[in-house]
Structure 1
C-alpha cells in the first residue's frame, strides 16, 4: 500500500566518486510535454502531446573539493554519470528506496558567495541524455533521448513508433 514517506538517507556517486556526506539537494528531471491544440470543428479544443521537453537535473553539494572538480573534468562531449540513491520509511514502517541514474552533460557549475561562518555549496546543473528511476526495484522511468526510448510509469510511450521505423 502506498503511504506517506519520510526520507532517511541520500547517497550519490558522480563519475564513480562517492558523494554521500555532501549531498544537500537533488532535483530529478522534470517530465514535461510540449502540447499542441487541436481545434478543427470543435467548440472545446483538445491538446495533444507533440514532443517531450529537454530534460535537466540539478545537484547541490556542500563544499566542492578537488576530487569533485577532477571528476567533472571529462573530455568535451563526454557524458557525466550521476547516481543518486534515497531511502527511508513509510508510515506503515516499511522501508522504501529509489535509485535515480542520470547521464548527460554539465550545463553549469555555480558556487555560493563566500561568507565567513557559512558552509560553501556548489550547484551542478546537468542537461540529461538518459534518465532512469527505480522505485523499490521496479523500473518506472527509463528515458534515452538518442534511442528515443521513453518509458514513463512502466509504459513504453514510443514503443510502437520506434518499431514502426525499425528502431530497437
Structure 2
C-alpha cells in the first residue's frame, strides 16, 4: 500500500565517483509538455500535448574538490552519467527505494558566493538525454530523447508511433 514516505538515506555517483557525503540536494527532471489548444467548434477548449520539453536535472553538492571536478571533465558539452539513490520508510514501516539515472551533458556549473563561515556548494545542471527512474525495482520512467522512448508511469506513450515508423 502506498503511504507517506520519509527519506532516510541518499547516495550518488557522478561518472562513477561516489558522492555520498557531499550531496546537498537532487532535483529530478520535470516532465512537462508543450500543449496546443483544440477549439474547432467548441465552446470550451481542450488541450493536446504536441511535444515534451527539454529535461534538466539539478544536483547540489557541498565540498566539491578537484577529484569531482576532474571526474566531470567540467567542460560544457561533455557526456555525464549521474546515479542518485534514495531510500526510506513509509508510514507503515516498509522500506522503499528509488534509483534515478541521468545521462546527458553539463549545462551549468555554479559555485556559491564566497562568504566566511559558509559551506561551499556547487550546483550542476544537466541537460538530460536519458532519464530512468526505478521505484522498488519497478520501472516508472524511462526516457531516451534520441530513440524517442518515452515511458511515463509504466506506459510507453510513443510506442505505437515508434513502431509505425519502424523504430525499435
What is the TM-score normalised by the length of structure 1? 0.97
Which residues in structure 2 correspond to 1:119-130 (within 5 Å)?
119-130=119-130
Quote the residue 2:91 is aligned against.
91
Cα distance in 1 between the residues matched to 2:74 and 2:88 = 33
Cα distance in 2 between the residues matched to 1:26 and 1:43 = 43
Instruction: Kindly report the root-mean-square deviation, in angstroms, between the aligned alpha carbons of the 2 structures.
Output: 1.1
Cα distance in 2 between the residues matched to 1:78 and 1:150 = 24
Which residues in structure 2 correspond to 1:51-90 (within 5 Å)?
51-73=51-73, 77-90=77-90
Residue 78 of structure 1, CA deviation: 3.9
Secondary structure at the aligned position of 2:160 is classed as helix
Is 1:164 paired with 2:130?
A: no
User: Contact between 2:4 and 2:90, CA under 8 Å: does it hold in 1?
Assistant: yes
Quote the residue 1:7 is aligned against.
7
Residue 74 of structure 1, CA deviation: 6.7
What is the TM-score normalised by the length of structure 2? 0.97
Cα distance in 2 between the residues matched to 1:34 and 1:83 = 28
Cα distance in 2 between the residues matched to 1:25 and 1:67 = 19
Mark the runs of 5 or more structure 2 residues left unpaired by the alignment.
none
Which residues in structure 2 correspond to 1:6-155 (within 5 Å)?
6-73=6-73, 77-155=77-155
Cα distance in 2 between the residues matched to 1:115 and 1:45 = 52
Secondary structure at the aligned position of 1:161 is classed as helix
Q: In the comparison of the two structures, how many residue pairs are matched?
A: 168
Secondary structure at the aligned position of 1:64 is classed as coil
Cα distance in 2 between the residues matched to 1:30 and 1:76 = 22
Mark the runs of 5 or more structure 1 residues left unpaired by the alignment.
none
Secondary structure at the aligned position of 1:67 is classed as helix
